[in-house]
Structure 1
Amino acid sequence: MYIAHGYAAQSATGRLEPFTFERRDLRANDVLIDILYSGVCHSDIHTVRNEWEGSVYPDGTIYPALPGHEIVGRVRAIGDAVTKFNAGDLVAVGTMVDSCAECANCKRGLEQFCQLGATWTYNSPDRISGANTYGGYSDLIVVRQEFVLKVTHAKEDLAAVAPLLCAGITMWSPLRHWEAGPGKKVGIVGIGGLGHMGIKLARALGAHVVAFTTSESKRTDALALGADEVVLSRDANEMKRHAGSLDLIVNAVAVQHELDAYLGLLNLDGTMALVGVPAEPHPSPSVTNLIFGRRSLAGSLVGGISETQELLDFSAKNRILADIETIPIARIEDAFERMGRSDIKYRFVIDMQSASNSTRS
């Protein structure tokens, strides 16, 4: 066993505090990774606060809860059967650490839709031992090699790579699936941790990008991120000017809101893909908006392993990174509080070297 140091919550109302625990011994196909950086995702907050009980987590959060699924690190050791990695390699781990590998979806490279259920990086039963998984708010992790990703970015970019493992791939997957690119007009709803990556990636793919925000103060920011146009969604006239014009909308807003106003912006055969999971359901949209225009309302999860590797390679080649603020692990509760009031542009990343220091002090 390997002794790990991290931060975990003991209950839905408890604070994230120092937590020492054991990582499993290496299985033959495992990789032991020293974690360098861990991104902070809204999913972490939902999980720690048990806000997804009955939806994402039918039985609720399992405590202690140790989140973190945007992981960049360095390989310390490998199992006897590992062929893809060596000690010293820079690597990444995203939202999954295992799947059945045998179902039709896994064989298509869509492990996130494993028919037997993917093993998530945290709050999920290990496929072999049944033990609850602990995530990246820790100094090391053990992961099956098939779920470890290669990182080729420069050392100075590594912290900003971490959010690609959830925020980035959550936006990349629908953009790729619905073929965003030259000649396509793509809307990004919500200019936050996910949305800011969506703007950058859609622009890099060659699409005409329209950003939607409820805040006038974000107009300049969205343009700086690469949006061709910015629409204040509270302004009916601005919205009307784009009626029936968008090929794809990726809606990254994770709070309950009306969907009809956006569905009306889609052109014939256009699609709106929802990627945020609100604590309360969205009001049901009107069927009329879908029928008159043969429009689709869809959902999209994170991408599979091959798609995530594609994103990392694209990011390294084009130097498309998250806008981040780096923090020590001891400031995680402050980060959660600031995220609750949208006081971050646009993603917190924990310098995990601080985990060992703070848990041993």
Structure 2
Amino acid sequence: MGLECIQFSGSLSGEIVQKTFVHPELAADEVAVKVTHSGLCGTDLHYTTTEMVLGHEAIGVVHSIGSDVSSVKVGDRVGWGYPNWTCGRCEWCLQGEDNYCPNWRIYGLADFEQGSLSSFSVRKEQWLFKIPECLSSEDAAPLMCGGSTVWTPLVNHVKPYHRVGIVGIGGLGHLAIQFAAKMGVEVVVFSATESKRDEALKLGAKEFYITQNIDDHSTLGITENIDRLIICTSAKLNLALFYPLLNPQAMIFPLTASDGELAVPYFATVRNGLHISGSVIATRFMQKKALEFAARNGVRVIAEKFPMTLDGVKAAMARLKDGKMRYRAVLSWD
């Protein structure tokens, strides 16, 4: 007999709905997880008009396992994020870049009954991660997507001597500041408002600049130019404004999902050897290392807390949609 659970789903009308679902028997490589916490991500807003279970930043406790599962056991605390399965055979998987597997099954495109806004979820063993003991579930949940999104360009492209600019201090930005600062680099924050200056500096930023209504960023007065620019804001930016602040061969990483076109100055990009690089969540290996690094170095999430109820999910989604969420949201069954 399958496992009955409560789920919170999107709908064609955009209304969040609660439903009951019975998971089928576990396949040999599947794990049933009792969800305890779920982070909320801007991506979740994109699927509120889709008939699917929402959420993809989950922490829970292993309830039962399939016959072939060996990496986790009943009672383990685990987490998961965007992907649920990758093929393991394509050239990206074979070279350890499984986060670019063209055959992967990911949130929003497959496994529509397996979101984290649920009392139970069934996941493939392959993309489950054990949570370090000293990392709380509340801190771990947003690291499963938001944290891994900022971790990837930092760990792959930043050297200790670089100056890293972070644009936007929201759910992604406040994690990026901590990861970067604890890696030993100089962190320079660009924000639209003054309101988060003190928090940004306490999180590890060395410099803080307000960019709202500034048409010439060369007048900001930064002490030295930037080697890596991490775009963490969901607002569409005129990247050309940041060009005077970049060193030759600097790299720009736009991390938030958006539509439309990304426009940059053609000649200035070529002349200065600038790189604009897309980046997705971490590989399985790097997701594991991100959790370990966060636990070892005290990376902590600033989160607004909501109950895992229909009213709680609706309230969190509305606050996120209205742009009023301060940093991150975490829902829990506690």
TM-score (norm 1): 0.86
Moved more, 294-303 or 217-226: 217-226
- 2:152 paired with 1:151: no
Q: Is the 8 A contact 1:214 1:232 kept in 2?
A: yes
Gaps of 5+ in 1: 50-62, 127-131, 354-361
Structure 1 residues 191-270: aligned runs within 5 Å: 191-234=169-212, 235=214, 236=216, 240-242=220-222, 245-270=225-250
Correspondence for 1:83 among 66, 70, 73 = 70
Trace 1:1-361 onto structure 2 (pairs within 5 A): 1-11=2-12, 13-49=13-49, 63-116=50-103, 118-120=104-106, 122-126=107-111, 132-154=112-134, 157-178=136-157, 180-234=158-212, 235=214, 236=216, 240-242=220-222, 245-282=225-262, 284-329=263-308, 330-353=311-334
TM-score by length of 2: 0.93
Contact 1:24 1:142 in 2 (8 A): no
Residue aligned with 1:217, SS: coil
Residue identity in the other structure for 2:105: T
The runs of 5 or more residues in structure 2 that have no matched partner are none
> For the Cα contact (< 8 Å) 1:232–1:239, is it kept in 2?
no
Aligned with 1:216: secondary structure? coil
Match of 1:4, as an amino acid? C
| Counterpart Cα distance in 2 of 1:6 and 1:41 | 17
Q: Is the 8 A contact 1:201 1:320 kept in 2?
A: yes
The answer to whether the Cα contact below 8 Å between 2:86 and 2:98 also exists between their aligned partners in 1 is yes
SS at match of 2:288: helix
User: Contact 1:233/1:239 (CA < 8 Å) preserved in 2?
Assistant: no
Amino acid at match of 1:73: G
Displacement of 1:181 in angstroms is 4.1
- State the Cα distance separating 1:240 from its structure 2 match: 4.7
CA RMSD of aligned residues (A): 1.8
Number of positions where the alignment pairs a residue of Structure 1 with one of Structure 2: 329
Offset of residue 341 of structure 1: 3.3
1:299-339 deviation line (CA, Å, top 9, x unaligned): 11111111101100111111212111221132222212222
1:174-208 deviation per Cα after TM superposition (whole angstroms, max 9, x unaligned): 10111x24211001111100011000100011110
Distance 2:139 2:52 in 1: 25
- My pick for the range that moved more, 230-239 or 254-263, is 230-239
Change (3 A) 1:96 1:162: same
What amino acid does structure 1 have at the position aligned with 2:138? A
Residue 239 of structure 1, CA deviation: 5.2
- 2:195 is paired with a residue whose SS is helix
SS of residue paired to 2:236: coil
1-structure distance, mates of 2:3, 2:105: 20
Deviation track 1:197-239 (CA, whole Å, cap 9, x = no partner) reads 0001000111100011111222222112211101112333665
Cα distance in structure 1, aligned partners of 2:218 and 2:332: 41
Q: Percent identity?
A: 27
Structure 1 Cα separation of the partners of residues 279 and 18 of structure 2: 34
| 8 Å contact kept, 1:192–1:345 | yes
Q: Which residue of 2 aligns with 1:60?
A: none
Tell me which amino acid in the other structure corresponds to 2:132: T
Distance across 1 between alignment mates of 2:239 and 2:161: 25
Q: 1:271 to 1:114 in 2, by over 3 A?
A: same
2:147 and 2:176 in contact (8 A); partners too: yes
Q: Secondary structure at the match of 1:264?
A: helix
